[in-house]
């Protein structure tokens, strides 16, 4: 008996579910202070590789499709750098070769599982005070004129155009030599404020800023604006397929929107005008760190998410960071599921959803049962990556 074509089509839909909507599903893997990987410094090559495989296996099980691996946390390298020393968080001593290239290995393992690998850079943090353990080719020793002590740390001064150029060249070196899928920078621009201390950039302010007609605060913001703009355009010129992502502090300014309260003013204290970068299209996605609950209103996840989306006049997606590590303190695991569902609602025209988990450790440890919940319900179907 012949079956009509329409019936065959209906039958095929019943037995073959429609493909899930594209969605960016990421997780950060931090190397600084061995937060996520490797679990401690000084592990053997085999142990480090095994831990990386475990991370990518778990990501695949949970149907994640992107890992954001921190490859430069303190002007050091978790890859074979031509410019900076090997990270102390690999071997326990800066400049010591771990015996393999972790970034190259991570890219291979990620791609074998259909997962994007985004290289995550901290642009301006240079180390901690008492840098006698720094390798000879570390920037604190090679270019001390760019370095500013602040609080317990050392920083590259964003006000020095030579320092900014140095960081851009470090990033572009990785873009050109590695098959990465993305470049990612986090929320450290000018450092988070230390009570009673001013960032010591008098030298660069007098040399580069004072005569320019801007206030010192506007000059500092302009330094970061220049860096972000140059990074975006130079990465895209070098390799157009590489996504450029930025993860700023989740609140642009206190009282924006009006119900929002915050102890930190990222615009005025970190000199990070992420709203401007988003409106200018200087990223392929913005991942504001929305590490608060749906309630109360003073730091409301949906209120902030919607506000950030409204700032994207250039049409760039907003894929927020979600504080998975805070399950149990103070959120239950259901909060994470509800927040992810909110990222799928009220999307801008032609928008594609996405979210990024902070951090992989919570997923590896199944904190509060979150890995089980994601696998069973929230990420039930595999999702293709959004278009570039």
Compute the Cα dihedral for 279, 351, 172, 66 and give only its sign: positive
Q: How confident is the model at residue 43 (pLDDT cuts 50, 70, 90)?
A: very high
Measured between alpha carbons, how far is 202 from 196 in angstroms, rounded to an integer?
Answer: 16
Whether 9 is covered by a domain: the verdict is: no
Model confidence at 229: pLDDT above 80? yes
Q: For residue 215, give every residue at least 6 positions away whose Cβ sits within 8 Å of its Cβ, in sequence order, or none.
A: none
* pLDDT score for 131: 55
Residue with tokens 């590789």: 49
Q: How confident is the model at residue 14 (pLDDT cuts 50, 70, 90)?
A: very low
Q: Are strands 147-150 and 125-128 parallel, antiparallel or unpaired?
A: unpaired
* pLDDT score for 19: 46
What tokens does 69 get?
């691996």
Give me the sheet containing 354-357, strands edge to edge: 285-286, 243-246, 182-185, 116-121, 66-72, 24-29, 354-357, 321-322
Measured between alpha carbons, how far is 161 from 31 in angstroms, rounded to an integer?
Answer: 28
| Mean predicted confidence (pLDDT) in 238-254 | 98
Whether 184 is covered by a domain: the verdict is: yes
How many domains, the chain? 1
Q: How confident is the model at residue 330 (pLDDT cuts 50, 70, 90)?
A: confident
| Mean predicted confidence (pLDDT) in 201-227 | 96
Q: Are strands 153-156 and 147-150 parallel, antiparallel or unpaired?
A: antiparallel
68 sits in which H/E element: strand 66-72
Looking at every residue in the chain, the average pLDDT score rounds to 93
Whether 8 is covered by a domain: the verdict is: no
What tokens does 280 get?
């200018």
Whether 260 is covered by a domain: the verdict is: yes
Q: How far is CA 26 from the centre of its chain?
A: 10
Measured between alpha carbons, how far is 183 from 119 in angstroms, rounded to an integer?
Answer: 5
Q: For residue 220, give every residue at least 6 positions away whose Cβ sits within 8 Å of its Cβ, in sequence order, or none.
A: 158, 159, 190, 201, 209, 271
Whether 317 is covered by a domain: the verdict is: yes
CATH number for the domain harbouring residue 133: 3.20.20.80
Q: What's the pLDDT tens digit per position in 336-367?
A: 999 999 999 999 887 899 999 999 999 999 99
Percent of the chain exceeding pLDDT 70 equals 94
Model confidence at 212: pLDDT above 80? yes
Q: How confident is the model at residue 18 (pLDDT cuts 50, 70, 90)?
A: very low
Whether 128 is covered by a domain: the verdict is: yes
Q: How far does the chain reach from its first CA to its final CA, in angstroms? A: 47
Measured between alpha carbons, how far is 183 from 287 in angstroms, rounded to an integer?
Answer: 13
302 sits in which H/E element: helix 301-311
Whether 7 is covered by a domain: the verdict is: no
Q: What's the pLDDT tens digit per position in 151-170?
A: 999 999 999 999 999 999 99
Q: 315-353 in b/e burial notation, b at 16+ Cβ within 10 A?
A: ebbbbbbbbbbbbeeebebebbbebbebbeeeeeeeebb
Beta bridge partners of 243: 182
The verdict on whether omega for the bond into residue 38 sits within 30 degrees of 0, i.e. cis, is: yes
Measured between alpha carbons, how far is 35 from 89 in angstroms, rounded to an integer?
Answer: 10
CB 321 within 8 A of CB 247: yes
* pLDDT score for 132: 58
Closest CA to 272 of 311, 316, 234, 225: 225
Compute the Cα dihedral for 15, 16, 21, 24 and give only its sign: positive
Whether 2 is covered by a domain: the verdict is: no
Full domain range(s) for residue 330: 22-378
């Amino acid at each position: 008996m012949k079956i009509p074509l329409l019936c065959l089509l209906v039958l095929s839909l019943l037995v073959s579910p429609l493909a899930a909507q594209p969605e960016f599903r990421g997780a950060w893997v931090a190397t600084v202070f061995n937060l996520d990987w490797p679990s401690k410094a000084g592990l053997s090559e085999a142990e480090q590789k095994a831990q990386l495989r475990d991370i990518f296996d778990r990501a695949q099980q949970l149907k994640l499709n992107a890992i954001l691996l921190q490859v430069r946390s303190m002007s050091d390298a978790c890859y074979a750098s031509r410019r900076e020393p090997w990270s102390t968080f690999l071997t326990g001593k800066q400049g010591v070769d771990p015996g393999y290239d972790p970034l190259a290995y991570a890219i291979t393992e990620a791609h074998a599982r259909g997962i994007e690998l985004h290289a995550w850079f901290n642009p301006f943090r240079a180390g901690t005070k008492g840098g006698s353990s720094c390798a000879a080719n570390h920037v604190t020793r090679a270019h001390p004129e760019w370095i500013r002590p602040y609080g317990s740390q050392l920083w590259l001064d964003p006000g020095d155009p030579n320092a900014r150029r140095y960081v851009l060249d470090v990033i572009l070196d990785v873009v050109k030599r590695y098959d990465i899928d993305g470049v990612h920078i986090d929320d450290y621009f000018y450092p988070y404020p230390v009570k009673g201390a001013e960032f010591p950039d008098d030298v660069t302010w007098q040399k580069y800023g004072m005569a320019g007609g801007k206030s010192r605060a506007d000059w500092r913001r302009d330094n970061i604006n220049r860096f972000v703009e140059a990074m975006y355009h130079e990465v895209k010129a070098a390799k157009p397929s590489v996504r450029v992502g930025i993860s700023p502090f989740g609140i642009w300014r206190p009282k924006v929107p009006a119900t929002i309260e915050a102890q930190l003013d990222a615009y005025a204290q970190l000199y990070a005008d992420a709203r401007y970068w988003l409106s200018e299209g200087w990223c392929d996605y913005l991942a504001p760190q929305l590490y608060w609950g749906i309630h109360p209103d003073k730091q409301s996840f949906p209120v902030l998410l919607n506000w950030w989306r409204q700032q994207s006049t250039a049409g760039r997606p907003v894929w927020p960071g979600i504080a998975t590590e805070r399950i149990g303190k103070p959120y239950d695991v259901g909060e994470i599921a509800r927040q992810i569902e909110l990222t799928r609602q009220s999307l801008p025209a032609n928008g594609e959803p996405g979210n990024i988990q902070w951090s992989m450790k919570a997923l590896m440890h199944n904190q509060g049962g979150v890995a089980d919940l994601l696998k069973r319900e929230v990420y039930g179907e595999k999702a293709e990556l959004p278009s570039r």
